[in-house]
């Protein structure tokens, strides 16, 4: 089997499981308890927080553990907007058209309570224009801007640092969803310039239901979950100590692998990606001539290293996926959050792709353990699959 759906989820790393096990058994204390088991749990939780902070170049106190990317996005977009409205009266929420649904739904939820939602358009590669952001900021009254670091469906990397320079000058907080970027792109928050950043554990080899939200010191965030005041009041509820431990270990390993692989240059996985893209275009292209051609979606170079996505004019993406699975290749048609939906991808339609063509989308995403020969086999399987489905 060749697994090419890493953007949906990844297997839990053995190192993460081994680090978690003691805290699922003998060392099971509640970090809020005052006895020895509780003190031990609190110390372990602090260690996990420091591990995440090291990857981000942040202060441990700025890191809160969450149940994953969806919660982190909700907490950031809603929490920053509510806090800023209370402080300044600002009511405009700015998001890009290609954000994850967790961000878009959070913004539109705010719209029910007096906020104005401003949606940034994107070009044909899925990138926003910082100039459009600047124009919106010049209009004033912006409570928060949310711009993902990398897109989950087409892999396009956004100009977050450029936008951050604009929001900082305007005094507006910027949130970035970095869920897909972890392990592939640098996450140094000083370089990115954002004020809040979301991460998810199961994209880097931690268990599902784990993640973190970083919020820059001094930036106000209205909490959405109230109760015992855990996580410095940002997220009440007894902390998931084993999950935090596993997430800290997995994120640290993913970052170490990225640094080792890239050094000061380009990630070598990008070369395998480019070879895979070329093989798909040259192999499938002749089968779908003219308007029924195959094309890469997303930016050709400013994209995640382990990510390739296509549309196949005239061939059902779902049918191709089934044929691929018969040939031992597991991939997807886009976001796992839309599995089973008949609606075309909002990401692709925002990029100017018509609804019918958007229904032919395929997404191939992989990890650092995926070999070049795995990708070659997948490209051949895709050619066979498309050939089988043609009349």
pLDDT digits (tens, 9 = 90+) for 257-285: 999 999 878 899 999 999 999 999 999 99
Same domain? 231 vs 304: no
Q: Is 90 exceeded by the pLDDT of residue 339?
A: no
pLDDT per position as a tens digit, 158-201: 999 999 999 999 999 999 999 999 999 999 999 999 999 999 99
Using CA atoms, how far apart are residues 220 and 223, in angstroms rounded to an integer? 9
Give the residue numbers annotated as catalytic, written as ranges.
Answer: 337
- Reported as half-sphere exposure (CB side, CA atoms, 13 A), residue 23 has a value of 24
Whether residue 273 sits in one domain with residue 206: no
pLDDT at position 265 is 83
25 lies in the same domain as 150: yes
**CATH of residue 152:** 3.40.640.10
| Number of domains into which the chain is organized | 2
Residue ending a domain, among 202, 236, 259, is: 259
210 and 304 co-located in one domain:
no
Residues linked to residue 199 through DSSP beta bridges, in sequence order: 212
Residue 140 and residue 143: Cα distance in Å, rounded? 9
Same structural domain, 93 and 232: yes
The CATH number for 365's domain is 3.90.1150.10
Question: Does the pLDDT value for residue 337 go beyond 90?
Answer: no
Could you tell me if 255 and 270 lie in one domain? no
**For range 218-231, the mean pLDDT:** 95
Mean pLDDT of 324-337: 85
Mean pLDDT value across residues 294-302? 96
Domain boundary among 259, 278, 303: 259
pLDDT band (50, 70, 90) for residue 391: confident
pLDDT of residue 289: 77
158 and 222 in one domain?
yes
342 pLDDT more than 80: no
- 195 and 291 both lie in a single domain: no
**Long-range contacts (CB closer than 8 Å, 24 or more residues apart) made by 110-114:** 110/77, 110/78, 110/81, 110/82, 114/85
My answer on whether 105 and 129 are in the same domain is yes
Same domain, 177 and 242: yes
pLDDT at 10 over 70: yes
Helix (H, G, I), strand (E, B) or coil at 157: strand
3-state secondary structure 57-100: CCCHHHEEEECCHHHHHHHHHHHHHHHHHHHHCCCEEEEECCCC
Q: Is the pLDDT of residue 362 over 70?
A: yes
Residues 308 and 347 placed together within one structural domain of the fold: yes
Give me the mean pLDDT over the 345-355 stretch.
96
Domain range for residue 43?
14-259
Domain final position from 259, 281, 305: 259
Quick one: pLDDT at residue 183?
A: 98
Does the pLDDT at position 338 exceed 70? no
pLDDT (average), residues 16-28: 96
Tell me the average pLDDT across 31-60. 97
Say what the pLDDT of residue 335 is.
56
Looking at the fold, whether 350 and 236 belong to one and the same domain comes out as no
Please give the distance of CA 371 from its chain centroid, rounded to a whole number: 23
Which tokens go with 174? 């910027």
């Amino acid at each position: 089997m060749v697994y090419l759906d890493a953007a949906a989820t990844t297997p839990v790393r053995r190192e993460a499981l081994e680090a978690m096990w003691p805290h699922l058994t003998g060392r099971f204390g509640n970090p809020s308890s005052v006895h020895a088991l509780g003190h031990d749990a609190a110390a372990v939780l602090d260690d996990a927080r420091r591990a995440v902070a090291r990857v981000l170049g942040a202060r441990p106190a700025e890191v809160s553990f969450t149940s994953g990317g969806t919660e982190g996005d909700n907490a950031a977009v809603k929490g920053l907007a509510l806090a800023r409205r209370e402080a300044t009266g600002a009511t405009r929420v700015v998001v890009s058209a290609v954000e994850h649904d967790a961000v878009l739904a959070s913004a539109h939820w705010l719209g029910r309570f007096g906020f104005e939602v401003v949606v940034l358009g994107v070009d044909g590669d899925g990138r926003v224009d910082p100039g459009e952001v600047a124009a919106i900021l010049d209009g004033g009254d912006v409570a928060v801007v949310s711009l993902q670091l990398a897109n989950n469906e087409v892999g396009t990397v956004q100009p977050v640092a450029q936008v951050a320079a604009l929001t900082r000058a305007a005094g507006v907080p910027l949130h970035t969803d970095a869920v897909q970027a972890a392990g592939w792109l640098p996450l140094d928050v000083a370089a990115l310039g954002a004020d809040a950043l979301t991460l998810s554990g199961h994209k880097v080899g931690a268990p599902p239901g784990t993640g973190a939200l970083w919020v820059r010191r001094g930036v106000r965030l209205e909490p959405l979950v109230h109760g015992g005041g855990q996580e410095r009041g940002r997220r009440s509820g007894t902390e998931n100590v084993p999950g935090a431990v596993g997430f800290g270990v997995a994120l640290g390993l993913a970052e170490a692998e990225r640094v080792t692989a890239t050094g000061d240059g380009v990630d070598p996985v990008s070369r395998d990606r480019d070879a895979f893209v070329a093989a798909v275009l040259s192999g499938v292209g002749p089968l779908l001539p003219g308007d029924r051609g195959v094309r890469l979606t997303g930016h050709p170079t400013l994209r995640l290293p382990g990510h390739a996505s296509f549309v196949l004019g005239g061939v059902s993406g779902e049918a191709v996926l089934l044929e691929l699975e018969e040939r031992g290749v597991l991939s997807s048609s886009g976001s796992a959050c839309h599995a089973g939906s008949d609606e075309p991808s909002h990401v692709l339609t925002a990029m100017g792709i018509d609804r019918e063509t958007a229904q032919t989308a395929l997404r191939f995403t992989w990890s650092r353990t995926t070999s070049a020969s795995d990708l070659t086999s997948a490209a051949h399987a895709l050619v066979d699959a498309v050939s089988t489905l043609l009349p």
